[in-house]
Amino acid sequence: MRKSMKVLSVVLSVFMMLVSLQLPSLAQFESSAGSALLMEASTGKILYEKQADIAKAPASITKLMTLLLAFEAIEKGQAKWDELVPISEKAWKMEGSRMFLEVGTKVPYRDIVTGISVVSANDGCVALAEYLYGSEGSFVQMMNSKAEELGLTKTQFQNASGLPAEGHYMSARDIGLLTKHLLEKYPALLEIESMTQFTFSNILQYNRNPLLGRFPGADGLKTGWTDEAGYCLVGTAQQNGTRMITVVLNATSEDHRFQVAQELLNYGFKTFEFTDAVTAGDMAGTAVVEEGKEKTVSLKLDQSATVFIPVHSKAELSFELKMNSEVLTAPITPDTVVGEYIIYHRGQAQASVPVSTVHGVERAGRLELLFRRINAFFKNLFAKA
């Protein structure tokens, strides 16, 4: 017996060691970037953060807001993909990354958006801003207004491109929230962002996103660099139906930026998973019914729910039935929503689903209700005695 227990102990130790080798520890994982964030895109759940609420220079990550306004303009009918955008002298004179627009020419709106997305064209940003709102200054006002609308509390823009400017900043959390909104509203953007090269005016340029073609499922989104901001990246990838968004700010080099983004994405995909928590139609308990022919009614879950939690931790889910009122009163019809079923993981609420009655309960007759009250009276009387 003692020998069997010893063998079992060794087997369990080896098993736990293998599990610990396969799964990164939530407590031990640490990014070397100055500021970083990892988010599951569909839920917005933050899986990792480091200095996520500190406002920092975002460099060309600014262009995500520029692109959001560009796509909104299409949706509102303010612009069309094949419309021609006139190129001003200000746009032509822009420094930094460019698509080499020529002053006095007119360029299709689609090409301008592609140039901003793929080669981070600063000249394209100014041309777009002037076309949509008359000037870059007016466009920046719309950028800041949209940031406020989206609840980006650590964001302020001074230009449409992300070139260094006093009072121009974003936090990693704000960048993550902006990215989530952008991808939800305009997923077609990824068709452009995933392009590895772009040719305009016979000039071939390559997408600077280091994740494309190197990290499985990567299809966006935006890089940036200035002396003040360091090397920055908003990356996104999708594997097995799950999409991750990662934000890296203040990396020390291009290689460091790629390494951190890759580590964050790997951490997300390997450490977390969607798990079926409850199924529609499952029983959720019973509720007391006053003045009904039946004194209780069965309750059911109206929806299924999945939760995004660390792998192999489904056993740590817990549940709470929260009723709209403590007691129901007849008559009650079938499928009446009476509360919610809250799903927790390690004490943190993850999701909730509506709870409704399985069947109806008719109101009891007057005579029956009278006898119940008499019965309750004498029970109460004897209890006090």
Residues of the chain with CATH 3.40.710.10: 27-271
Residue 63 appears among annotated catalytic residues: yes
Residue 201 has what pLDDT?
94
In total, the chain counts a number of residues equal to: 385
Catalytic residue among 50, 56, 63, 222: 63
Which residue do the tokens 């889910």 mark?
Answer: 317
Catalytic residue among 35, 60, 171, 194: 60
Euclidean distance between CA atoms 224 and 169, whole angstroms: 13
CATH code of 279-384, in short, is 2.60.410.10
pTM of the model: 0.86
Which residue do the tokens 């491109």 mark?
Answer: 161
Listed in sequence order, the residues at least 6 apart from 191 whose beta carbon sits closer than 8 Å to its beta carbon are none
Peptide bond into 331 cis (omega under 30): yes
Residue 374 has what pLDDT?
66
Is residue 242 within 8 A of residue 47, CB to CB? The reply is no
Listed in sequence order, the residues at least 6 apart from 330 whose beta carbon sits closer than 8 Å to its beta carbon are 289, 290, 291, 292, 293, 361, 362, 363, 364
Residues of the chain with CATH 2.60.410.10: 279-384
Residue 106 appears among annotated catalytic residues: no
pLDDT in tens, the chain (385 residues): 444 444 444 433 433 333 333 434 444 568 888 899 999 999 999 999 999 999 999 999 999 999 999 999 999 999 999 999 999 999 999 999 999 999 999 999 999 999 999 999 999 999 999 999 999 999 999 999 999 999 999 999 999 999 999 999 999 999 999 999 999 999 999 999 999 999 999 999 999 999 999 999 999 999 999 999 999 999 999 999 999 999 999 999 999 999 999 999 999 999 999 999 999 999 999 999 988 789 899 999 999 999 999 999 999 999 999 999 988 998 999 999 999 999 999 999 999 999 999 999 988 766 665 666 666 666 676 676 6
Is residue 135 within 8 A of residue 143, CB to CB? The reply is no
Residue 189 has what pLDDT?
97
Residue 117 appears among annotated catalytic residues: no
Euclidean distance between CA atoms 258 and 267, whole angstroms: 14
Collapsing DSSP states into helix, strand and coil, what is residue 237?
A: strand
Name the residue among 177, 155, 178 with its Cα closest to residue 71.
178
Q: Which fold has domain 27-271?
A: Beta-lactamase (3.40.710)
Please give the helix or strand (H or E) that residue 341 lies within, else none: strand 337-345
Is residue 122 within 8 A of residue 94, CB to CB? The reply is yes
